[in-house]
Amino acid sequence: MKTIEVDDELYAYIASHTRHIGESASDILRRMLKFSAASQPATPVSKEIRASNVVAETKTVAPVKDKVRAVRELLLSDEYAEQKKAVNRFLLVLTTLYSLDNKAFAEATESLHGRTRVYFAADEQTLIQNGNQTKPKQVPGTPYWVITNTNTGRKCSMVEHIMQSMQFPAELIEKVCGTI
Q: What is the pLDDT of residues 95-133, one digit of tens each?
A: 999 999 999 999 999 988 888 788 999 999 988 888 778
Instruction: Give the confidence band of 52 by pLDDT, cuts at 50, 70, 90.
Output: very low
Residue 145 and residue 121 in contact, taking contact as beta carbons nearer than 8 Å: yes
Q: Which CATH architecture has domain 83-179?
A: Up-down Bundle (1.20)
- The residues, ordered by sequence, that sit 6+ positions from 107 with a Cβ below 8 Å of its Cβ are 165
Domain ranges of the chain: 83-179
Helix (H, G, I), strand (E, B) or coil at 40: coil
Residue 130 and residue 118 in contact, taking contact as beta carbons nearer than 8 Å: yes
Q: What is the pLDDT of residues 5-43, one digit of tens each?
A: 777 777 777 777 777 666 677 777 888 788 766 555 555
DSSP E strands: which ranges in the chain?
120-121, 137-138, 145-146
The verdict on pTM exceeding 0.75 is no
